[in-house]
Amino acid sequence: MADTTDTRLIEAGFPCHQVGAETQRERGASSALPPLYFLHVWWARRPLTPSRAAILASLLPAGTDSDTFVRRLGIERVQALVHGEPWTLTGKLLERIESRDGREVLPVDRVVLRALEQEQQRREGNRELIRRLRDERPGLRADPVLARWQEESHLLPMPWPEDGEVLPTRRVAGDPAHVNERIEFAKLPAIKAILGGELRWAAEDLYAYQRAFANPVPYRQQSLTVLDPTSGGGSIPFEALRLGYRVIANELNPVATSILYATLDYPARFGIGLVADIERWGRVLLARVEAEMADVSPFSPIPEGELSALKRHLSECPDLIDNYAVEHDHTGLIS
């Protein structure tokens, strides 16, 4: 008789709302798509976040802690604790985290103290704005987005740590579903009427982590083999490899097969040494395309006026500027 008690996470308690919200984010901006997308246009390519989620949720047992599962997908914030009050770290502060005696800490120095002051000012500004919204529109007082925003804007308790001390840090599950609610809240006509425009959230009030597909996942060599008999562009076998599983990827289409070799086989076989060859032949390809296209669409530098305007525009869009720098650094746009 078949065992009907071995239920997987994907069958019970799967956090679809978080995976769906992060998938929307992954596909939301063409400039921020995973690098695999730029190998070749493949119309049925699966997003990486739900591919990773489907693999893990199919193998993990029902009852797996939902927050732990979400973190394993790369949907994860990092917080320092200031006398127990969480402070979400973003940007360069994340690079300052150190591992000491098996735990992660944030060493305190002048840079961190200055960031603490700025965070306190940001929270004070949040609280003032929340009061303004509630006073001018009493109907907003019960809004769950505003209530949670206020909860996360408690002032950091004093006194500040001293230079040379450390702040303990922790990693917690992100909440992209709630971030979507905040984005919609900012667009409400009532909010625009009060502020004279759309509410602009700080990074700490939004995702506070880079897109989940770009976050490294704990790699452990697994004994199981994942088979994808119709693997297409390779999103599912790619994520299975990243998670440490052996992979069998099958595909009849010769174009997709070539993509699979470039995505799965060659990187696994040649490792980081492949980078230099890719860069070398990439330059050769660009030179040949430029020469062939010179009469039709000449390559030329961006005029200085247009370049300045583009820089000003991108400065207000940190996600776009990061991805533009990666994709167009040969233009000298990003200094």
pLDDT tens, position by position, 223-264: 899 999 999 889 999 999 999 999 999 999 998 999 899 889
Distance CA 330, CA 335 (A): 11
Query: Does the structure show a pLDDT above 60 at 329?
Result: no
Judge if the upstream peptide bond of residue 159 is cis by omega within 30 degrees of 0.
Answer: yes
Whether residue 288 sits in one domain with residue 188:
no
Residue in the block written with tokens 């695999």 = 36
Distance between start and end Cα atoms, the chain: 66
Whether residue 284 sits in one domain with residue 239:
yes
Whether residue 203 sits in one domain with residue 127:
yes
Would 308 be classed as within a structural domain? no
Would 333 be classed as within a structural domain? no
Distance CA 177, CA 159 (A): 34
Query: Does the structure show a pLDDT above 90 at 76?
Result: yes
Whether residue 152 sits in one domain with residue 223:
no
What pLDDT was estimated at residue 4? 66
Would 2 be classed as within a structural domain? no
Whether residue 191 sits in one domain with residue 90:
yes
More confident residue, 321 or 60: 60
Query: Does the structure show a pLDDT above 80 at 205?
Result: yes
Whether residue 152 sits in one domain with residue 64:
no
Would 186 be classed as within a structural domain? yes
Distance CA 9, CA 334 (A): 44
Whether residue 137 sits in one domain with residue 192:
yes
Residues spanned by the domain of 157:
76-208
Question: Environment class of residue 232 by beta-carbon count within 10 Å: exposed (0-12), middle (13-18) or buried (19+)?
Answer: buried
Q: What tokens appear for 43 in the block?
A: 């119309």
List the one residue out of 34, 63, 61 whose CA is nearest residue 49: 34
**Which residue, of 208, 242, 262, is where some domain finishes?**
208
Would 167 be classed as within a structural domain? yes
Distance CA 64, CA 207 (A): 23
Would 329 be classed as within a structural domain? no
What pLDDT was estimated at residue 124? 97
The domain total for the chain is 2
Would 233 be classed as within a structural domain? yes
What pLDDT was estimated at residue 320? 53
**Mean pLDDT estimate for the chain:** 88
> Average pLDDT, stretch 133-145?
91
* Mutual angle of helices 48-59 and 235-242, in 10-degree steps: 60
Whether residue 263 sits in one domain with residue 249:
yes
Query: Does the structure show a pLDDT above 90 at 51?
Result: yes
301 pLDDT band, cuts 50/70/90, is confident
319 pLDDT band, cuts 50/70/90, is low
Would 331 be classed as within a structural domain? no
Diameter over CA atoms, the chain: 75
What pLDDT was estimated at residue 323? 46
Query: Does the structure show a pLDDT above 90 at 288?
Result: yes
What pLDDT was estimated at residue 317? 65
Strand runs (DSSP E) across the chain, as ranges? Answer: 76-82, 85-88, 98-100, 103-107, 166-173, 225-228, 246-249
326 pLDDT band, cuts 50/70/90, is very low
Whether residue 173 sits in one domain with residue 121:
yes
Distance CA 228, CA 237 (A): 7
Whether residue 182 sits in one domain with residue 204:
yes
Distance CA 321, CA 314 (A): 5
> Average pLDDT, stretch 70-91?
95
Whether residue 68 sits in one domain with residue 96:
no
Query: Does the structure show a pLDDT above 70 at 332?
Result: no
